[in-house]
Amino acid sequence: MPFASLGLVDDLARAVAARGYTMPTPIQSQAIPAILAGRDLLAAAQTGTGKTAAFTLPLLQRLQTRPETRMPAGRPRALVLAPTRELAAQVADSVRVYGRHVAPRTALVVGGVSMKPQCDALRRGVDILVATPGRLLDHLSQKTVSLAGVEILVLDEADRMLDLGFLPAIRRLLALLPRRRQTLLFSATFADPIRQLAGDFLHEPAVIDVAPRNAPADLVEQQVHPVEQTDKAALLGRLLSAGERDATLVFTRTKHGADRLSRQLEREGIRTAALHGNKSQSARTRALDDFKQGRIQVLVATDIAARGLDIVQLPRVVNYELPHVPEDYVHRIGRTGRAGRAGLAISLVSADEMPRLHAIQRLLGRKLPSSVVEGFEPNPAKRARAPVAAPSASARHHHAHRAAGASTGERPAAHRPARPETTAHDASRRRNKAHHQTRRVATTGDRA
C-alpha cells in the first residue's frame, strides 16, 4: 500500500514525498497504523529496513494530536533511547527531516560532547528528546531534565543496548517515566532477554516481526578470501585500488587495529578515516560526514562505533577481521545491500580465524563462497584448527561489556568481581617480599 493509505497527515505525507518515497517498507506499513492507534509495539527489524521512519512519522503525528500541549522547560513529551551516539544523531536528523512542516522542538543528548549546549536546549523547551542512556542519567542527576511528562517512549535497537550492559540504566530510566505512556520497542531479534524486557514494560503490544532471524540482506553478495594475516593489509589495498574505487566500510576488531590500518592505507594513497570510541565526537561526526560525501573512500570502524550507521549508498563492506560473535557478522554486512541496491561483503580470513568462519557459516546455515586471490596464496603448511562452537551468551555479554565502555563513551552498569579475601599467609609473603626488595635497594645504593 502507498504511504497515502497509512493515515499520515498532509504535513508528514509531504515531507515523505520530498524524500522521494512513495511505497512504505514492510516494517513501516505494519508499525505506523499500530502506533497511530496508540498501541504499545514490539517490533523486530534490522537496520536498513526503514525502522527509524516507522516510529518517527507516527511519533510526530501523535504529538500533533495535542499541539497546544507545551510542556515546561526540561520536560519532553517523547523520549527516544538509542545505544550509540551515531544512531541517536541519525534519529534526531530523521525527526528534523520528517518534522519540517510541524516543527517539533528536538534535543539530542549524547556523551562525548559538552553538556552546556544540551542544557541550553533543554532549558528552551523540548518536545522530543533523543538520548543515549549514560548521558541522560547525567542530566537527570543534575536536574536539567525531567521525564515526568513523557507520553511516548521509544527503545531503538534494544538488543544492542542490552548487549552493551545498559539494562540497569534502562530500568532506572523507566522507573522515572509515567506509568501511563505508549512504549515502542525495536530490536533486531526477539531473543529471550528482549521478550523478558517487553513483558516487564509493554502493555498488550502489537507484535511485528519483519527480521528473519540471522538472515543477511538478500541483495548482499558474500565472498571469502583466505589469506595470511601478515598479507591482509596488502590484499585490502589491492582490492580497494582495483577497478572502481567504491566507498568501502572496513571492520576491525580493535580500536588500535583500526588506527593502524587507516594509517597504512593513507600511506598507499587511499583516502581513509578511522571511526571508534577513542575518537572525539567531533572527529567521529566529521569522519562519517566525509565518508557519506565521498571525500574519503574508506571508513575503518569497530563494531560498536559502526552500529546503526545509516549509509544508504554503501556498495561494499570488508571484514578485515572476523568478529568474535557470529551474529555481529550479520550486523556488519547489513550495512550494504540496502534500499533495493546490490551490495558486496568481503571477508579476509587467516588460518587462525577459520573457527570463527565455521561458526558464521553454521549460523547462516550455508557455506560461503571462497576464493584465493592470485599473489596472496596462504601458506599450505598452516592448517586451520577444527571448528569451535559459537561463544556462549555469557561470553558474548562479557565481550560486549568490555567493548561498550571504550567504544561508546557511555557508562554501562558493569560490576567488577570482588577481590578474594587476603589470607594471613598471603600477607606474610608480601611482607617478606617487601623486606627483601628493601635490602636489595639499600645494597645497590651503598655500591653507588
152-184 pLDDT tens trace: 999 998 988 887 788 899 999 999 999 999 999
Grid cell at residue 84: 550509540
Handedness of CA 166, 187, 145, 309 (dihedral sign): positive
Do residues 196 and 181 make contact, with C-beta atoms less than 8 angstroms apart?
no
Looking at residue 311, its amino acid is: I
CA 69 to chain centre: 33
How deeply is 441 buried, as exposed, middle or buried, from its count of CB atoms within 10 A (0-12, 13-18, 19+)? Answer: exposed
Give me the pLDDT at residue 243, please: 58
Give me the pLDDT at residue 244, please: 60
Grid cell at residue 294: 565521498
- Measured CA distances, 428 to 247, 436, 437, 442 (Å): 62, 13, 14, 21
Instruction: Quick: pLDDT tens for 372-403.
Output: 998 899 887 765 443 444 444 444 444 444 44
Give me the pLDDT at residue 72, please: 78
Give me the pLDDT at residue 234, please: 93
Residues 6+ apart with CB under 8 A from 8: 16, 32, 57, 58, 61
Give me the pLDDT at residue 395, please: 44
CATH 3.40.50.300 residue spans of the chain? 3-209, 220-364
Give me the pLDDT at residue 306, please: 65
Residues 6+ apart with CB under 8 A from 119: 139, 142, 144
**Tens of each residue's pLDDT in the chain, 448 residues:** 678 789 899 999 999 999 888 889 899 999 999 999 999 999 988 766 789 999 999 999 999 876 556 677 889 999 999 988 888 998 999 999 999 998 889 999 998 889 999 999 999 989 999 999 999 999 999 999 999 999 999 999 898 888 778 889 999 999 999 999 999 999 877 878 888 889 999 999 999 988 655 555 567 889 999 999 999 999 999 898 875 678 899 999 999 999 999 999 999 899 999 988 788 878 888 888 899 888 999 999 988 766 656 676 788 999 999 998 888 888 888 778 665 667 889 999 999 999 999 999 998 888 999 999 988 998 877 654 434 444 444 444 444 444 444 334 444 444 333 333 334 444 444 444 444 444 443 333 333 2
Grid cell at residue 95: 525527526
Residues 6+ apart with CB under 8 A from 316: 246, 247, 248, 249, 336, 343, 344, 345, 346
How deeply is 106 buried, as exposed, middle or buried, from its count of CB atoms within 10 A (0-12, 13-18, 19+)? Answer: buried
Handedness of CA 137, 57, 342, 299 (dihedral sign): negative
Grid cell at residue 156: 531503538
CATH of span 220-364? 3.40.50.300
Fold (CATH) for 3-209: Rossmann fold (3.40.50)
Looking at residue 281, its amino acid is: Q
Q: Which of 181, 315, 338 is nearest to 245 (CA)?
A: 315
Grid cell at residue 105: 522542538
The residue with cell 517515566 is: 177
Looking at residue 329, its amino acid is: Y
